[in-house]
Amino acid sequence: MAVFRELLKTRLPRLSRHLDALQTAAKDGTTSYEPPLTNVFTMQWFLTLFCNCLPQPTVLRVWDLILLEGNEILLRTALGIWQVLAERILSVRSADEFYCIMGVLTRELLEFGIIDANSLVKAIVQIGPLTELPALREKYFYNINPWSANVSSNVEAEMRNRQLKLYGRERLALDIGALKKQYSKLKQRQRQAHIIFSAAVARQPSSS
């Protein structure tokens, strides 16, 4: 998602700045946390290959492009959708209002087809190859190597002791507390998005 946010900054800078401002304003202190506003929705679009935000004929057109050009189309499609929604989103003044308007927009995307299939495909093509994508993926690639199975318990204990000396027990407790608050806020926003998507999809007529 970090890669997508970087693309959003360069391709839709006005929208990106507005969303960053809403996210910052939602923080009421140093321990508060507001997840990046596009994350929850864009991730769901990716996981469902846009089935929960676009009408079926449009989804099939996007899938054709994915098969032809690869996974970069996922990013370009998401950019195209946010581009269409940008003007409405730029009118909101808080993170909570953003989630409310996304409920309306998600329904409009599915029910009223506010994004025409031909227009979306044209936008995806116009966005063009994301030449900066390899560099961005390299930038945000984290190579996390788990501890080897043959590392002795003594070595692990020594590492824990070093961490405690470096950060202090109070610092570690504070960090864990902050992470718990962040996770709680993220789960809250995920539940909001889940309700939005579920309500929109439930209104769709059965394909049978």
Segment 3-43, tens digit of pLDDT:
999 999 999 999 999 999 998 888 765 446 777 888 888 99
Q: Is residue 163 part of a domain?
A: no
Co-location of 56 and 112 in the same domain: yes
Q: How many residues does the chain have?
A: 208
pLDDT at 174: 47
pLDDT at 205: 60
Co-location of 123 and 189 in the same domain: no
Co-location of 38 and 128 in the same domain: yes
Give the confidence band of 162 by pLDDT, cuts at 50, 70, 90. Answer: low
pLDDT in tens, 47-85: 999 998 999 999 999 999 999 999 999 999 999 999 999
Co-location of 85 and 180 in the same domain: no
Co-location of 131 and 66 in the same domain: yes
Co-location of 102 and 3 in the same domain: yes
Q: Last residue of some domain: 93, 121, 142?
A: 142
pLDDT at 147: 46
Q: Nearest 5°: CA angle at 143, between 138 and 145?
A: 170
pLDDT at 36: 83
pLDDT at 139: 86
Residue 36: left (phi > 0), alpha (psi -120 to 50), or beta?
A: beta
Q: Is residue 169 part of a domain?
A: no
Domain enclosing residue 32, as ranges: 1-142
Co-location of 55 and 118 in the same domain: yes
Q: Is residue 97 part of a domain?
A: yes
Co-location of 3 and 98 in the same domain: yes
Q: Is residue 85 part of a domain?
A: yes
Co-location of 44 and 87 in the same domain: yes
Tell me how many domains the chain contains.
Answer: 2
* Domain of residue 115, CATH code: 1.10.472.80
Give the confidence band of 154 by pLDDT, cuts at 50, 70, 90. Answer: low
pLDDT at 95: 87
Q: How far does CA 36 lie from the centroid of its chain? A: 7
Give the confidence band of 114 by pLDDT, cuts at 50, 70, 90. Answer: confident
Higher pLDDT, 144 or 156: 156
Co-location of 89 and 42 in the same domain: yes
Q: Last residue of some domain: 122, 142, 162?
A: 142
Q: Is residue 11 part of a domain?
A: yes
Co-location of 180 and 77 in the same domain: no
Q: How many CA atoms lie within 13 A of 110 on its CB side?
A: 20
Q: Is residue 164 part of a domain?
A: no
Q: Are 22 and 92 in contact (CB under 8 A)?
A: yes
Q: Last residue of some domain: 123, 142, 161?
A: 142
Q: Is residue 40 part of a domain?
A: yes
